[in-house]
Structure 1
Amino acid sequence: MHVSQTLELYPELNVTQILFKDVQNAAELRQNAVDGKIKGALIKPTMLVSPFQVLVAANKAVHLHKRNQMKTRGLFSEIIFNLSPTNNISEAFKRFGISDGDGTVLVVLVHTKEESHLVSDMVTKVDGVQIPVEDISSLSDLEKIKKLYKINPEEDKCGTLLDAVVCRMATKDIM
């Protein structure tokens, strides 16, 4: 049900995504993440188009982490920040980080192959129903996503929403 992918530039690291619905303990999870008790990014799935979008953000975060060029204080906050089309860190957390009352959450872990136990540890911490990560698009709020990333109708005609979103994420540093 979860998806793990090895990073091409850093083959010693995997990015694992785990999707949950009917989450009952979002407030506790969020507080544990703030306190550093959860070694992962907790993301609001309604603001995501595809798991690929998260993989792009995680790959960029790992690269910046390895080069000591992160704009946030930690790898997992950098993943959330990299999902945003703007350079405003607090805005990124409001839009993409989970809130206390959220019923869905995407957990993103970055780990070595030897740390694969982190996946099962995380599953036990979430009081919710695990669903396939591929179902993330069924949770997407497309209107909010288009508004946030300023996607105009002409772009829909020449490419996919995912293309437009990833393009905004990739170019925010130079725009």
Structure 2
Amino acid sequence: MASYLETLDIPHLPESLSVYVALYRDVQNAALLRQQLLSGNKEFEYAFIDASMVFSRAHATAAIFRAINDYKNDRLKSHNVHSEIVFSLNPANNIADSFRKFGVADSTKDLLAVKVSVSPEITRDSVAAHLEASVQGTPVTFDDQTLSEISDVTRIKKMFKLGALPSPGDKTSGTQNSNAKRQLEMSLVGAIALRGS
């Protein structure tokens, strides 16, 4: 599993804050993971995201950057930096709605786990060991190709009210498909950056 845990490099963030990301498919214990979050179990302080609601690495990274930036500047609107990551994915300012739409649900099959190292005890090895013991799923590479197989583009476009944009994968040429992906990604990242501004 450790080879699938990635240390995300996010420019403009303090080097003291490492971000670890792992993507899973066919998760069997999403209900247990959700329950651990709801009960406030500190060992499960992660951003557990329904990966079907993540369009690309840039989409996820924008939300992570926004949350960490808010954390560093004492502007969190939720309990901690991890819940703020889930909140940052939502184009609206409703925290509960964010968890319903973007967070892990009992029925989640594809899961993006994000852990921010907010203390020295949180290391790549400790996160890898905890996720390996806790998540019953198949680890996969966190890249745009894998996310394109997982993403529910129709739901994402509906959530962000981007129905007028062409959908990647529609019966279009390679260039048109690439342009559609880029346009949707830019719209999603822009919505994250502008929310609540």
TM-score (norm 1): 0.90
Equivalent residue for 2:72?
66
Equivalent residue for 1:146?
157
Quote the RMSD (CA, aligned, Å). 2.0
**Within 5 Å, which residues of 2 pair with 1:6-45?**
6-8=9-11, 9-34=13-38, 35-36=40-41, 37-45=43-51
Cα distance in 2 between the residues matched to 1:145 and 1:81? 15
Unaligned 5+ residue runs, structure 2?
168-178
Deviations 1:74-112 (A, max 9, x none): 111100000010001111111100111221211011127
Segment drifting more, 28-37 vs 84-93: 28-37
Equivalent residue for 2:62?
56
Contact 1:7 1:13 in 2 (8 A): no
**Within 5 Å, which residues of 2 pair with 1:83-162?**
83-111=89-117, 115-117=123-125, 118-134=127-143, 135-153=146-164, 159-162=182-185
Q: Which has the larger radius of gyration?
A: 2
Note if 1:3 corresponds to 2:6. yes
- Counterpart secondary structure, 1:42: strand
Structure 2 letter corresponding to 1:170: A
Unaligned 5+ residue runs, structure 1?
none
- Counterpart secondary structure, 1:133: coil
Matched residues, number: 174
Deviations 1:109-131 (A, max 9, x none): 11278611212321221011111
